[in-house]
A and B are shown apart, each in its own frame.
Chain A
């Protein structure tokens, strides 16, 4: 069987920069549900160089959000890690910590969560507590990790609200989430995530629920803050436009695997995996394909309980090689002549 563990990317094909904030190696995660086993992550490997923005792209059900959750150890209780590690290095020279080895609710994990690694969720209405003011919720993290002094915490909360461009931070700090608009709530979420100046920020579809003009404001804000604070960001999204605007490097995921990793320029100008190529060709582009037919990917993502043999993309791939792709799962390997571009596809072996 191809998915029993023999297909892990050999360490020689790992892209490893000298100073990585996060290194995820061969992460495997299964969900044991009453309806069957869902293989959510099947050997996910990637790294985030310090101070960079890594985009994690894929369609719903590809495991991109679960990867983010795993880094925070927020995986639901039906999930079990079947292997792999998540190495987090707070600053250069420090011994990396394997997050998955820590007690889920232990002191060490709680120290990291929200302090060194923080997260922005997709839907700001459901991820803010409706019963507490914005100020309370930001102060909670500061009081937990940074200072015991309530006045100091309040001052810092106001500071960080100002930093995310809130027009009247004192008033906002005293308001409840329902009193704010969607864009304001997302700003409050960002303020909360940045309140402890984290080393790594996981942004899980932070702009998906927002309108274009608000989305542009939030992306602009995240870019500015990233330059200012130097936080590394793992940016999870399905929107290729947002990826092109925000990220330095990209990992494309399909059915719980990273199928292609490249710098942003390589990914858009020299994509290799048929899935990436087809994704690029299926998005409507302004001024390019008005009135023409869009190219689409045939079929749809298989249901999560089923297992696909060989390459997970082969049933939808127009370039599949008969007799090979449905049998053998491709391993991750470098594109010829590159040290930063990997692909999991038989067409390049």
Chain B
């Protein structure tokens, strides 16, 4: 069941990762249960690629991102990171001194640009903080590096002395990106980087992330719940459901030939921006089960329209059904599932052309009436 893909081009390989949070209760705050936020997932990211991680809220995608960075300590499992200096390291086991040496190579961009920047620190200190902690730069050299980073994300370096409140949501997200870039990382975990932004700003930030990836040969773990955004940016996509990975494949394969019924339902639910193509979504009955009390067997079986008896008792492992298409479903080969339909016909209207002011029929007099 392990996702064994040998080779040096794997930057991060996660095997059997588990993160359980205890539920305490009663007089003595005894542990009375476990929230199995992440419950044995396997995946890998190759150098220079973007792996999209999608799923509904509460499925454990953010916990996965944070556990990979050791912001949470994993309950079990291996996190093999291919560090450029230290070689392959299991992040789940390293001591804190080694971890500090590895940290510059993996960074995170948070979802909410309003709560992830300290309001009492200037932009210079926010972006320079990783450099100070790692003792790489100080004084004028630090200021210069911050200026360079700001320039990189499209914010004027003069703004370095200002505080986060002076910036709009999109600009704050750029500051978050600059901070993540400060130490020249190899891997950046993007935890819903655009979901708090407006549509017009979202496109700017997505383009910026793509440009930076090309320029610095970055590897992204891109966590998002917006499937259209992930389709746009990711090379491969993995789908999570209640702490378990149900499917992982190249973006096109996953979107056009999904092999897991949950992926099918998820894709069918995307509201398509085309009024001539109104979809009646596949009814996915019920709600996402609680990770504290998941169903037996395959976690998706109570909502799955293809479920059979075996699904109630046996949890299917994540297995490769060919061509790096990993699925956790007993019937992956048998089911004929529907992917997204191409929305190619809808024209993208181009902008109207500029009219020279001389021939423009708007004289100031007519509009001022």
* Contact among A212, A219, A318 with B351 in the assembled complex (CB-CB below 8 Å): A318
For the complex formed, measure the closest distance between the CB of B349 and the CB atoms of chain A, giving whole angstroms.
5
A300 touches B (CB below 8 Å): yes
Q: List the B residue with the shortest CB-CB distance to A292.
A: B232
Find B275's partner among A265, A291, A319, A349 (CB 8 Å cutoff): A265
Cβ–Cβ contact B210 & A293, under 8 A: yes
Is the pair B272, A244 in contact by a Cβ cutoff of 8 Å? yes
Q: B340–A286 contact, CB under 8 A?
A: yes
Complex formed: what's the CA distance from A219 to B269 in Å? 10
Give the dominant DSSP class at A's interface: loop
User: What is the interface of chain B mostly: helix, strand, loop, or mixed?
Assistant: loop
Name the residue of chain B whose CB is nearest to the CB of A211: B56
Q: B232-277: which residues lie under 8 A (CB-CB) from chain A?
A: 232-233, 251-252, 255-256, 265-266, 268-277
How many angstroms from the CA of A176 to the CA of B170 in the assembled complex?
Answer: 37
Binds B, one of A77-85, A227-235, A266-274: A266-274
Q: What residues on A are CB-neighbors of B360 within 8 Å?
A: 321, 324, 346, 349
Q: B304 on the interface (CB 8 Å rule)? A: no
Task: Give residues 239-285 of A contacting B (CB, 8 Å).
Answer: 239-245, 247, 264-265, 267-272, 274, 277-285
User: B348 and A281: CB pair below 8 A?
Assistant: yes
Contact residue among A215, A245, A247 (Cβ-Cβ distance under 8 Å from B279): A245
Q: Report the minimal beta-carbon distance from B344 to chain A, rounded to whole angstroms.
A: 6
A290-B252 Cα distance, complex, nearest whole Å: 9
CB-contacts of A180-230 with B (<8 A)? 181-184, 211-217, 219-220
**By the criterion CB–CB under 8 Å, are B351 and A297 in contact?**
no
A271 to B349, CA, bound (A): 7
**Is A93 at the interface (CB under 8 A from chain B)?**
no
Whether A219 lies near B355 (C-beta < 8 A) is: no
Taking the closest CB of chain A, its distance from the CB of B71, in whole angstroms, is 24
Q: Report the minimum CB–CB distance from B113 to chain A (whole Å).
A: 13
User: Given known contacts A6-B369, A274-B351, A346-B362, is B273 in contact with A244 (CB within 8 Å)?
Assistant: yes
A347 and B352 contacting across the interface, CB-CB below 8 Å:
yes
With an 8 A cutoff between CB atoms, is A337 at the interface? no
Smallest distance from the beta carbon of B268 to chain A beta carbons, Å? Answer: 8
Determine if A106 is an interface residue (Cβ-Cβ < 8 Å). Answer: no
Name the residue on B nearest A291 (C-beta).
B232
Q: Is the CB of B362 within 8 A of A328?
A: yes
Complex Cα distance, B367 from A323, in Å, reads: 14
B231-A184 in contact (CB<8A): no
The reply to whether B275 and A241 form a contact with Cβ atoms under 8 Å apart is no
| A interface bracket (residues with beta carbon within 8 Å of B) | 35 or more
| Contact call A270/B354, Cβ cutoff below 8 A | no
Tell me whether A179 is interfacial, beta carbon within 8 Å. no
With both beta carbons as reference points, the residue of chain B lying nearest to A263 in the complex is identified as: B275
**With an 8 A cutoff between CB atoms, is B94 at the interface?**
no
Q: Does A13 contact B (CB under 8 A)?
A: no
B56 nearest in chain A by CB position: A211
A294 at the interface (CB under 8 A from B): yes
The distance in angstroms between the C-alpha atoms of A39 and B364, with both chains bound, is: 24
CA distance in complex: A270, B346 (Å): 10
- CB of A280 within 8 A of CB of B232, answer no
The answer to whether B202 touches A300 (Cβ under 8 A) is no
Chain A residues positioned under 8 Å from B348 (CB to CB): 280-281
Q: B225 within 8 Å of A by Cβ?
A: yes
A339 touches B (CB below 8 Å): no
Least Cβ distance of B16 to chain A in Å? 27
| Inter-chain contact B271/A219, CB cutoff 8 Å | yes
- Most chain A CB within a 10 A radius of its CB, from B274, B280, B342, B357: B274
CA distance A60 to B265 in the complex (A): 30
- Beta-carbon contacts under 8 Å, A334-349 to B: 346-349
A299-330 residues at the B interface, CB under 8 angstroms: 300-301, 303, 318-324, 327-330
**23 pairs from A and B in contact (CB 8 Å cutoff):** A212-B56, A213-B269, A216-B284, A220-B281, A244-B275, A245-B271, A274-B351, A277-B351, A283-B273, A286-B343, A287-B344, A288-B344, A293-B207, A294-B207, A296-B201, A300-B201, A321-B354, A321-B357, A323-B357, A324-B357, A331-B367, A349-B360, A349-B361
Residues in A lying within 8 Å of B, measured CB to CB: 6, 59-60, 181-184, 211-217, 219-220, 238-245, 247, 264-265, 267-272, 274, 277-291, 293-297, 300-301, 303, 318-324, 327-331, 346-349
